[in-house]
Structure 1
Amino acid sequence: MAAMDQEKFSVTETVFLVERPLEEIQRAVDKKVIHPVVEDAAKRRRLFGRAELRFLVVDREVGGALSVDGKKRLYKEVTKLSARAATVKLGPIAIDLKEGDAKLNDRIKTLRRLKNSMQFKGGEPYLKGTSIPVYQIAALRKEMSVDEILQDYPTLKRDDVEVAISFAAIYPKLGRPYPGKTLKRGISELLKLGIFDEMPDEAA
């Protein structure tokens, strides 16, 4: 538990962990409701700790009834809590944390599993034990179903594809994207359209 309490997460990891849109998290930062650690001021790289995650989970449930000042007070109270605290008090109200903490812990375990499913070659993530780039598989989901991807990559399991998709969502690819279809699938579709049919003999 102690190691997890000291662990910090990027903003895209936080989006995944608390299951909230990036815009909502950014708004909480901009309004100074929460105070993540700034690792690189020039790049504005922020890291979110346990208190920020717990607040964002609780705020998702009760934040609609609070003003900005109320949210700031709630965050302050959350930062005072031990990792084992089951409730947070805001004035006379006690807010239960157990269910939110359980879900958060599960998401953190899932994130770790995703990371452990990767191996890196030249800075590029590959599905562990394969020579298949993660971003290549994830990009296919834009135009192909998981079943179609598995047909074209028979050595992969459904979980491999889902891991690749989740990893790419949390850690978006920089630079030129991979195509949304496999070469095999693209050629097959062109064949169906008759693109490669023999041209009629004009001399005949």
Structure 2
Amino acid sequence: MTVREAAVVADVSVRKVHQMIDEGLLPDEVVVKGSRERRLDPSACMIIRFNATAGLRLSKPMRTKVAKKMRKIDPMLVEAYRMVLDEITIDMSRAAEENRRRLGEMEAAKAMVVSDPDVRGGLPVLMGTRLGVYEVAGLIEAGSMDEALAAYPSLTPELARAAVLFAKAHPRTGRPRKAGGTPANDAHLVATRVFSADELEGGAAGNAT
């Protein structure tokens, strides 16, 4: 998936995802090699979410350790995201549930958008219609879902939601590029001991409760 798609799923900014990659906070295994643009394995989404929430309270070495463990978890196994490392309990299960839902929505949205040179010159349209993705998304953004459904009889709520999500993950050239915002407080971090000096290196917080 693209960096922007991962940012939308993880609900963080694209800039922040690139920063995490540059700082080595994402395991090499989740960064797809051999492409002109950066691409990520879907498993990166939860690691990104972790780094934007609970990971902020940990040192870089500990964040790297958690990320490597998360890389091996099946994104569908929500409870597996509650783990204990070095006496620190990290509970990302609630975020994992949300991540699973958003990953599914992203894949569904991409499947509902098609591009055919014989249909409106190859512009992205919603499957089974001639409705432009960006037209529908723009109308919903400027007005409401109900207005879009009333304006386009062939539009369904499912297609409308797909248009909005696809447009966010694949904005038109020249439009402001912004994905996600400040992640919700959906991560819980519990420590049963004081962090060592090494763990505090790099500006990590002191004790976590």
Q: Deviations over 1:114-135 (max 9, x none)?
A: 1222232124221111111112
Matches of 2:143 and 2:101 in 1, distance apart? 29
Q: Is the 8 A contact 2:106 2:165 kept in 1?
A: no
Give TM-score scaled by structure 2 length: 0.66
Q: Which residue in 2 is equivalent to 1:148?
A: 147
Q: Which residue in 1 is equivalent to 2:57?
A: 65
| Structure 1 stretch displaced more, 140-149 or 112-121 | 140-149
Alignment counterpart, residue 6 of structure 2, candidates 6, 14, 31: 14
Q: Which residue in 1 is equivalent to 2:184?
A: none
Q: Which residue in 1 is equivalent to 2:171?
A: 172
Q: Which residue in 1 is equivalent to 2:100?
A: 105
Q: How many residues align?
A: 164
Q: Which residue in 1 is equivalent to 2:135?
A: 136
Q: Deviations over 1:177-202 (max 9, x none)?
A: xxxxxxxxxxxxxxxxxxxxxxxxxx
Q: Which residue in 2 is equivalent to 1:75?
A: 67
Q: Is the 8 A contact 2:6 2:44 kept in 1?
A: no
SS in 1 for 2:83: strand
Displacement of 1:158 after TM fit?
3.7
Q: 1:51 to 1:114 in 2, by over 3 A?
A: closer
Matches of 2:95 and 2:141 in 1, distance apart? 32
Displacement of 1:142 after TM fit?
4.8
SS in 2 for 1:89: strand
Q: 1:147 to 1:14 in 2, by over 3 A?
A: same
Ranges in structure 1 where 5+ consecutive residues have no aligned partner: 1-8, 177-204
| Structure 1 stretch displaced more, 140-149 or 129-138 | 140-149
Computing the radius of gyration over CA atoms, which structure comes out larger, 1 or 2?
A: 1
Question: After the TM superposition, which parts of structure 1 deviate over 6 Å for at least 4 consecutive aligned residues?
Answer: none
Counterpart residue identity of residue 171, structure 1 = H
Q: Deviations over 1:155-190 (max 9, x none)?
A: 3234433321211111112369xxxxxxxxxxxxxx
SS in 2 for 1:39: coil
Identity, % of aligned pairs?
23
Give the alignment's Cα RMSD to 1 decimal: 2.5
SS in 1 for 2:162: helix
Ranges in structure 2 where 5+ consecutive residues have no aligned partner: 176-209
Give TM-score scaled by structure 1 length: 0.68
Highest RCO, 1 vs 2 (Cα 8 Å, sep ≥ 6): 2
